[in-house]
Amino acid sequence: MIRVLVVDDSAVVRRILTDQLQRADDIEVVGTAPDPYVARDKIVQLKPDVVTLDIEMPRMDGLTFLSRLMKHYPLPVIVVSSLTPAGSEAAMRALELGAVDVISKPGAAYSVGDVAVQLIDRIRAAAMARVRRPGEGAAGRSVAAGVLSRIQTTDKILAIGASTGGTEAIRAILEVLPATTPATVIVQHMPEHFTAAFARRLNELCAMEVREAGGGELLRPGLALIAPGNHHLLITRQGAQYVAQVKDGPRVHHQRPAVDVLFNSVAKYAGVNAVGVLLTGMGADGAAGLLAMRQAGARTIAQDQASCVVYGMPKAAAQMGAAELVLPLERIPSGILETFHAAPRAARPAAHASAIASPVE
């Protein structure tokens, strides 16, 4: 059983989350707390495996509590936040402080049932997570950017996919990639509205321009697009240029956006001109798409077990032979640049044809 402590100042929210979580056979809500001071005592007393944490609370805000918790008693924390701009920005800060995931509160945008299904999945992933203090396991601060002077062309694509623990892994990679990095498309499993805050935060920290994708953008070196929450991100071609597409469509691996949808489109339209990177996360989303990319001639990288928060998606990719390289997080930025500089591999059309089918294209 996964033992969960629910921390929220709203008695209604505490009751709703408790009732929904108790329906899962493998989850037990061992307690609730209306504020961080009560939560502190119950964490020591009940020793939960996972904590769900509201950010806006009386007596001590959730970010201050999270910072102290990760310093003195680190354990997996899932932030349950409102979809307001302030809530989204605070949620990004919580991920930087060590929270393993973020999910929206039930409300107008997401029903109780929708949130419950997502939260149960996130709790299962969090229970498996390697909890790290802020800054631990970050990528190296410098990479050999000189090789990019030889690959500055609009026909290269970098595709990145991640889930639990991925926000900090993506940040660690993009922060050290130069502004001349080939056009980059990213899927991070994250609710609607939080992805916009995530893109804004990355744009402040990175040499590349980082934006939430709106659809229709021409992909170019130095531009990174984040898939918007609750929508799939794909690429296609208009003449000699790659173009971003944002679509609805069914969930894939229970996810929208889904990494497989993005990777399959990159395999189809970019092939040997692409590099795919699959990062930390629970489940198998992205593994089949990474294999399709490799079979289409793309170079492929998966994060190694030791540096993952949850070794699920990269493990599935490694097991099916989708990953050409398996690297620790700190080696992935230089691995990306070196791989772009390497000679392209030959595609294998017969295997590729059956692997790149996408339910949303």
Q: Of 274, 276, 267, 248, give the one whose Cα is nearest residue 359.
A: 248
Could you tell me if residue 137 is inside a domain? Answer: no
d(CA 22, CA 27): 6
d(CA 70, CA 150): 43
Q: Is 103 in the same domain as 151?
A: no
Q: pLDDT band at residue 154, thresholds of 50, 70 and 90?
A: low
Q: Is 85 in the same domain as 215?
A: no
Would you call 189 a catalytic residue per the annotation?
A: yes
Q: Is 341 in the same domain as 280?
A: yes
Q: Label residue 222 left, alpha or beta by phi (over 0 means left) and psi (-120 to 50 means alpha).
A: left
pLDDT one-digit tens code per residue, 178-233: 999 999 999 999 988 899 999 999 999 999 999 999 999 999 999 999 999 999 99
The model carries a pTM of 0.88
d(CA 90, CA 236): 34
Tell me which of 37 and 343 has the higher pLDDT: 37
How many independent structural domains does the chain possess? 2
Angle at the Cα of 41 from the Cα atoms of 37 and 47, rounded to 5 degrees: 130
Residue pair 76/48 in contact by the 8 Å Cβ criterion? no
Out of 81, 82, 88, 163, pick the active-site residue.
163
The answer, yes or no, to whether residue 149 has pLDDT greater than 50, is no
Q: pLDDT band at residue 148, thresholds of 50, 70 and 90?
A: very low
User: How many CA atoms, within 13 angstroms, populate the side-chain half-sphere of residue 197?
Assistant: 23
Could you tell me if residue 20 is inside a domain? Answer: yes
What the block records as the tokens of 196 is 């916009």
DSSP E strand stretches across 95-151:
101-104
Quick check: bond before 328 cis, omega within 30?
no
CA distances from 265 to 72, 143, 262, 296, 321 (A): 44, 28, 5, 11, 19
pLDDT one-digit tens code per residue, 80-92: 987 777 788 899 9
Other C-beta atoms lying within 10 Å of the C-beta of residue 247: 15
Could you tell me if residue 184 is inside a domain? Answer: yes
Segments forming the whole domain that contains residue 46: 2-127
Helix (H) or strand (E) holding 318: helix 313-319
Helix, coil or strand: residue 192: coil
Q: Is 190 in the same domain as 72?
A: no
Would you call 163 a catalytic residue per the annotation?
A: yes
Q: Is 101 in the same domain as 238?
A: no
Query: What CATH number has the domain bearing residue 262?
Result: 3.40.50.180
Would you call 25 a catalytic residue per the annotation?
A: no
Q: What is the length of the chain?
A: 361
The answer, yes or no, to whether residue 106 has pLDDT greater than 60, is yes
Place of tokens 């950010």: 55
How confident is the model over 281-301, as a mean pLDDT? 97
d(CA 52, CA 42): 13
Out of 8, 260, 285, 304, pick the active-site residue.
285
Q: Is 111 in the same domain as 80?
A: yes
d(CA 291, CA 187): 17
Could you tell me if residue 217 is inside a domain? Answer: yes
Q: Is 173 in the same domain as 253?
A: yes
Q: Is 177 in the same domain as 109?
A: no
Could you tell me if residue 65 is inside a domain? Answer: yes
Out of 8, 54, 88, 189, pick the active-site residue.
189
Query: What CATH number has the domain bearing residue 28?
Result: 3.40.50.2300
